[in-house]
Amino acid sequence: MKIAIVGGGLGGLSAAITLAKEGADVRLFEQNRHFGGKMMAVDEQGYHFDFGPNTITMPDVFRDVVKQGGLHPDEELPFAKITHHTRNEFKDGMVFDFSTDKAYMKEQLAMVDPKGYRHYDSFLEEIERLYEMSEKHFLHRTFSGFKDYLSPTLARSMTQVRPLESMNHFFKKYFSHPNIIQALNRYSTYIGSNPYQAPATFSMIAHLEWNDGVFFVRGGNTKIAESFVKAAENVGVHLYSGTKVTHIYSSKGSVQGVETSEGDYYEADHVIVNGDLLHAVPELIHESERSKMPDKKLQSMDPSISAFVVMAGLDTKISRLKHHHLLFSHDYKREFNVLKHGYYADDPTIYLCTSSKSDPSVSPEGDNCFILVNAPALPNHQFDKEAYKSHIYDLLGEAGLPIKHHIRYEKVMDPHDIKNTFGAYRGSLYGPSSNSRMQAFMRPFNKSQDMDGLWFCGGSTHPGGGSPMVVLSGQNVANQILGKIVHIE
């Protein structure tokens, strides 16, 4: 069986490993020089940055892929857990740390949110239930068409994961302090969405951080991508970096192979597209060959938010900074409304990841500050990149973080850069947003309805965005091709 995989992100790599392990002839093509997609390393002047992801959950998902590749997970991926993992700071001066230490969380809540203190245990139970329902019925399956949603078991389970309630409304049931609710609402950005619109189902993300834990990989999270590459090579995957696929060929409704920009043609029984569907499908397949996925349909989908990123290597270490550090905006709802209309927020929530706080080896001389603010998917209006960067530095300075006075290295990436580097539709991070129930639960299918043998994995399809989900999407597609997934009826 010959497999061609377009895109060497985590989904494509994980699919390649599973298929090659079972004897398939797998060729994986990546247009960039690095593999791993958005899990891209930036190493300059003694500083290491993980472009993404900075926060790691569900480490066993990554370990399992490495193990399938014949490697020892503990040796390849030295995960470490951060107990008090996220510092949240607010405009009124309040500071609240997210932690897997339940006693510590209750101690904090008792002082600022009596309702949250009383309902803390029941909240943990409910978000664990939401996760377990999703894990059992949704995360480990592919979707090939609308008939897959007619499964009585799936339909029944979907009614039990709060699909009609927003994340914001759900969190308000358990907590009363607006700052705590705002900090929880930030979990919607993990799927590039708006907490006032995204279904409460995705509140399960809080379970991964509050119950299971937040992790990092010593030496940089990008070691996950490196270990996937090593595992792929170990099971015989043919890896092509710096090689762009320009067209997917078909005949009589079935895929035949792919062609690269160098003019080389590779036959394939199956083709897996690991990339942003909204961008990749129009680029790779003539519209006349995809009646179920025409340009008009793709362009009608609401894209997820993007990001404005500054990677700043400092000449000093700022003791106040934590590994994961948030400075929240004054009005979160207004921030998302501004983004929705295609503008950058003048008072944005600022996320800083300084991984050297937990792992000094990645930046021994000074802090490696990865600074991210939410950005709209490519806006139509003019945008001054330098001015906005300066504005972010000024806001950090006002918050007592004089980063701009200590910069020794700097790299800025905005939605244009994300679009051009990763082939992301309008620079969005996760393809379609989850701001509606249709896009949240009925993302583009994993199996093409237009061509036999054409498959999709990655954040823009099921089960959704975020590194563990992307890996699972690759695993699901590979197992479906191998006949190892039994659909739940």
pLDDT by 10s per residue, the chain, length 489? 999 999 999 999 999 999 999 999 999 999 999 999 999 999 999 999 999 899 999 999 999 999 999 999 999 999 999 999 999 999 999 999 999 999 999 999 999 999 999 999 999 999 999 999 999 888 887 877 656 655 566 566 667 788 779 999 999 999 999 999 999 999 999 988 999 999 999 999 999 999 999 999 999 999 999 999 999 999 999 999 999 999 999 999 999 999 999 999 999 999 999 999 999 999 999 999 999 999 999 988 889 999 999 999 999 999 999 999 999 999 999 999 999 999 999 999 999 999 999 999 999 999 999 999 999 998 667 789 999 999 999 999 999 999 999 999 999 999 999 999 999 999 999 888 877 666 656 678 899 999 999 999 999 998 988 999 999 999 999 999 999 864 444
CA distance 10 to 16: 10
**Sheet order of strands, 368-375 included:** 95-99, 84-89, 324-327, 350-354, 368-375, 306-314, 407-413
pLDDT at site 118: 98
pLDDT at site 368: 98
What is the phi/psi pair of residue 329, to 5°?
-70, 165
pLDDT at site 141: 78
CA distance 23 to 14: 15
The model's pTM: 0.94
pLDDT at site 163: 79
335-368 per-residue burial string, b: 16 or more CB within 10 A, e: under 16? bbebbbeeebbebbbbbbbbbbbbbeebbebbbb
CA distance 105 to 92: 20
Which residues, in sequence order, are CB contacts of 141 under 8 Å at separation 6+?
A: 148, 462, 476, 485, 487, 488
Rounded to 10 deg, the angle between the 167-174 and 178-185 helix axes is 140
